[in-house]
Amino acid sequence: MTTLVILLHGVGGQGAPMLTSVGRHLPGVTLRAPDGPLAFHPGSPQRAWFSIAGITPANRPERVRAARAELDARIDAAVAETGATRLVLFGFSQGAIMALDAIARGKVSEALIFAGRLAFDGPMTPAPGARALLVGGEHDQVIPAAETAAAAEALQAAGVATQFLLEPGAAHEIGPRGMTAARAFLQ
């Protein structure tokens, strides 16, 4: 079985650095780390999945919906290229928001979420057997762990086998305990 893990970076990030920083902790899997479709700043190499200019809790779901086609195209291309038989999205921050959306609507059945919030405002239709690990940093000031925990609860209520891990001492980051749990999830 070929396991493909697609790494989804946060706003202002890029795929290649995430591939280097996270990928070295995930041996034995095929990795892809696409760049988000939008420039974070005009002319900047930094990318985003959706614009955060003027973002509010009320308009965030609309922006995520608008970004779905680009994400889905990247997922489909990576699966076709690799011939993977198992697909796992690994999202951090804005990438985690996109990964949560993908599992909530049944695009993928497995997700690793670091510092994510759910921006899904429709009925969830997860794939049968869907499962997710959500990790929130104890001291995260960008996306508080309580929001990641709330996303875990919402997925669980929709039928996703969900585990939430609070990373002690972590801020808005991918911490060592979360990475250890992610490796266990992939096994």
Stretch 161-173: mean pLDDT, rounded?
96
Q: How many residues does the chain have?
A: 187
25-83 pLDDT, tens per residue? 888 899 999 999 877 777 778 899 998 989 999 999 999 999 999 999 999 999 999 99
pLDDT surpassing 80 at residue 23: yes
Could you tell me if 138 and 159 are in contact, meaning their C-beta atoms sit under 8 angstroms apart? Answer: no
CB burial class (10 A; 0-12, 13-18, 19+) of residue 81?
exposed
pLDDT of residue 24: 87
pLDDT of residue 56: 93
- CA 149/CA 143 separation, integer angstroms: 11
pLDDT of residue 31: 95
pLDDT of residue 38: 75
Could you tell me if 102 and 70 are in contact, meaning their C-beta atoms sit under 8 angstroms apart? Answer: no
Rg value, the chain, Cα: 15
pTM for the full predicted model: 0.95
Q: What angle do CA 51, 39, 179 make, to 5 degrees?
A: 80
Q: If one looks up domain 3-186 in CATH, what number appears?
A: 3.40.50.1820
Q: Flag the least confident range among 18-27, 67-76, 77-86, 116-125.
A: 18-27
Give me the residue label for tokens 């250890």: 180
